[in-house]
Amino acid sequence: MSVRLCCLAVFIAMPAFADISLHKLFSNGAVVQRNQSIPLQGYASEEKSVDVYLDDILLGSTTVTAKRWQYILPATSAGGPHTLRIEGGGNSTSVQDLYFGDVWLLAGQSNMELTMSRVEEAFPEDISNADFPLIREFTVPDTYDFDGPREDYTEGKWLTATSANIRQLSAVGYYFAKNLNEELGIPIGLINASLGGSPIESWMSPDALSGFPEALNETQPFKDDSYVAAIKNSDAQRQQVWYTMRDAMDLGFKENWKAGNYDDRDWESVNLPAYLPGTNEDSNFAGVWWVRREFELNKKPDAPVVIRLGRIVDADAVYINGTFIGETTYQYPPRRYEADPSLFQKGKNLIAVRVTSVGADTQFVADKPYFMTVGDTKISLDGKWKYQAAATLPPLMPQTFIRWKPTGLYHAMIAPALRFPLTGALWYQGESNTKSPALYNSKLSTMIEDWRQRWGQSFPFITIQLTNFMERSDIPSDTAWASLRAQQWEVSQTVPDVATVISIDVGEWNDIHPVNKKAVGFRASLAARALAYGEKIDYQGPVVTSAKLEDDELILTFSDAALPLRFNGASNRSFAVGTKEGAFSWAVAHLKGNNQVVLSGFANTEPNMVRYGWGNNPEATLTDASGLPAPPFKINIE
């Protein structure tokens, strides 16, 4: 890893209520980069000069010019706690509990943003045992700016990875930092600049987008505040009209379908989880439908009752015996509600769910948990429910996600950190670019080089490849998700000091936000140890190097640091063999020696190409001896 310090940067912070101020990243509990000079700059309203102290030792003084000052903190080895104090003209400001360590940028969309609270049920001990005060995260405020790069954040603070804060931290970031902290024994700081749904273009500077004029031109109208205000107003009015119409038309509200004594004997039955009967993934419904189910309790509960309703498309409101207990307003979060025990009674009880669909494939998503926990008793909520449609409406046109427009997140969430030295960056993004994956590799390569140039550092860049998602196909298929994964991998093979973390084996077919962030963070930490710290370790799975036809078999050869190769599950639909015309058929795979896979039984008589782990949710079971998965690939046959 090479580092250029000639372009030493500045932290500029405009004052609010203090005479001397610092950038938000220089705040209590901060972790700043060890072993590098740290450019420090701030604002002083009246003073002619300021003095800089570290642990009450005067480091030096600097002149205030036009109410701004700057000072270069000397390179300092890992450790702390330290106190940084700036004084001048009888005024002062300080940073308490400051540590020097390694700082990593976290960036991307919702799978990077997803917090430890969302994985708590999968890894409860990681929440209860969290006690890593030297892992700290600064969560960047979610905002955008199309006018130009901002100098500072509007708010934010450093949080330690301890029980009080752990649920608020990025899950990928936490597991990544935990493994580094345990291996290296130094403080790890995370700057978390991520936002759900964001495409790569929103994280790119105007200069980086200059080679992609279509994206850059999309930004221009949003520089006009009146244009943005008009769009926001139009979106708000459209939604208000739709939801007002929904409530007015909802028979469930008018006839009190949430009540325990409502007579639903004429309702049809549905076995949940399922789509709204009469619809499927290809036939959408907009409006409201209700489901109801009775259940028996042997006694009145004496503690809160936990209700799990999997995942519901799009939104839901839940009632127990006629009383509202909670709601979720969009489709992605897992449904978990707690109900006060006073709402229940011995004997017959009723749960009712009001489902709102804005025009999607409305459903209770399969293969998710549906149950109720009453004390030590778990009551299944799978199976028979009563259902009734309550209102049918025209589909609601989606809102305009202004914050996702090109350059906006770069200006507001990346630019303010540009002068804060880093060890490296961790990037988890791509889902929002699968609708149009063309040029993703060029955009990612350009963004990496642009960020490195602006930071003045050629820091390691680690990309998390898209995981497996959606229903598995019975036939070999070429998909946008497969294409984007291939482009992510290509960047790591063509741009220096870039690694791709493979997650093709830890996804969930029915959830774009899989919970196994522990494996992802661990694998990312292996890549970091190799790229940033120069360790000679196995950090990626087997990589194909050749494909040769021998008689009626294809011999695939792989390179890896941890042989022999292994299959950790079925492999009959992992490899597909294709012709020049693009016709693919499955092949039977078996291992040969330490580093080869032999394919046979394919239907094509003139094979031209092999694909592995290709598709939205492929069967990808090939690993190395340490369990790291092989990246999906396509390779021409020699």
Domain annotation covers residue 72: no
- Whether residue 359 is found in the same domain as residue 415: no
Which candidate, 261, 239, 421, places its Cα nearest to that of 329?
Answer: 239
Strand partners of residue 467: none
Q: In a 10 Å sphere around its CB, with 0-12 CB exposed, 13-18 middle and 19+ buried, how is residue 582 labelled?
A: exposed
Each as own residue / partner, the long-range contacts of residues 434-437 (CB below 8 Å, 24 or more positions apart, any chain) are 434/466, 434/480, 434/481, 434/484, 435/480, 436/480, 437/480, 437/483, 437/484, 437/487
Residue 591 β-bridge partners? 597
Q: Report if residue 316 sits inside a domain.
A: yes
Give every residue of the chain whose pLDDT is below 70, as ranges: 1-18
Domain end marker among 359, 392, 425: 392
pLDDT at 67: 87
State the pairing for strand pair 91-108/424-428. parallel
Contact between 490 and 441 under an 8 Å Cβ cutoff? The reply is: yes
Q: State how many domains the chain has.
A: 3
Quote the pLDDT of residue 9. 39
Asked whether residue 551 is assigned to any structural domain, the reply reads: yes
What pTM did the predictor assign? 0.94
Q: Say whether both 325 and 259 belong to one domain.
A: yes
CA quadruple 369, 375, 378, 381: dihedral sign:
negative
What's the pLDDT score for residue 188?
98
CA dist., res. 330 & res. 309, Å (int) = 14
Q: Which residue has the tokens 């077919």?
A: 509
Q: Are residues 133 and 109 in the same domain?
A: yes
Looking at the domain assignment, is residue 319 inside a domain?
yes
The answer to whether the CB of 51 falls within 8 A of the CB of 86 is yes
- CA proximity to 562, closest of 610, 516, 590, 530: 530
Give me the helices (H) in 101-170, please. Answer: 110-113, 124-128
In sign, the C-alpha dihedral spanning 193, 195, 199, 201 is negative
Do 465 and 588 share a structural domain?
no
**CA–CA dist 483, 437 (Å, integer):** 7
**Helix (H, G, I), strand (E, B), or coil: what is residue 566?**
strand
E strand or H helix at 81, and its extent? strand 79-88
Which residue, of 489, 505, 534, is where some domain finishes? Answer: 534
CA angle 524, 525, 531 (to 5 degrees): 90
Task: Examine the domain organization and report whether 136 and 5 are in the same domain.
Answer: yes
Are 421 and 530 in a shared domain? yes
Question: With b meaning 16 or more CB within 10 Å and e meaning fewer, what string describes 199-227?
Answer: bbbbbbbbebbeebeebbeebeebeeeee
Q: Are residues 435 and 568 in the same domain?
A: no
Angstrom CA distances, 365 to 352, 386, 432, stand at 17, 17, 21
Write down the pLDDT at residue 4. Answer: 34
Nearest to 35 by CA among 11, 1, 86, 70: 1
Give the closest residue to 400 by CA, choosing from 604, 233, 153.
Answer: 233
Q: Which residue has the tokens 């290809």?
A: 282
Is 66 contained in some domain? no
Tell whether 595 is covered by a domain: yes
The token pair that represents 392 in the structure block? 């049918």
Q: What is the separation of C-alpha 197 from the centre of its chain, rounded to a whole number of angstroms?
A: 9
Cα distances (Å, whole numbers) of residue 168 to 118, 153, 175: 10, 19, 13
Answer whether 616's CB lies under 8 Å from 516's CB: no
Same domain as 447, residue 527: yes
Which residue range forms the structural domain that includes residue 607? 543-636
Give the orientation angle of helix 440-455 with respect to helix 480-494, to 10 degrees.
40
Q: Which is nearest to 131 in space by CA: 184, 77, 189, 181?
A: 181
Q: In sequence order, which residues have a C-beta less than 8 Å from that of residue 289 and are 6 or more positions away?
A: 276, 355, 357, 362, 387, 388, 389, 390
> What is the phi/psi pair of residue 379, to 5°?
-105, 120
Same domain, 585 and 506: no
The verdict on 290 and 367 lying in the same domain is yes
What amino acid occupies position 196?
G
- Residue 335 contacts residue 364 (beta carbons within 8 Å): no
Do residues 438 and 463 share a domain?
A: yes
Cβ neighbourhood burial of 558 (10 Å; 0-12, 13-18, 19+): buried
**Inside any domain, residue 62:** no
The residues, any chain, with a CB within 8 Å of residue 624's CB and separated by 6 or more, are 538, 541, 542, 560, 561, 562, 563, 565, 566, 630
Would you give the DSSP letter of residue 260?
A: T
312 token code pair: 């519901």
pLDDT at 15: 41
- Would you mind telling me the total number of residues written for the chain in this entry? 638
Residue 270, domain CATH: 2.60.120.260
Give the per-residue pLDDT at 19. Answer: 82
Q: Are residues 129 and 4 in the same domain?
A: yes
CATH of the domain at 188: 3.40.50.1110
| Domain presence at residue 224 | no
Domain boundary among 513, 534, 555: 534
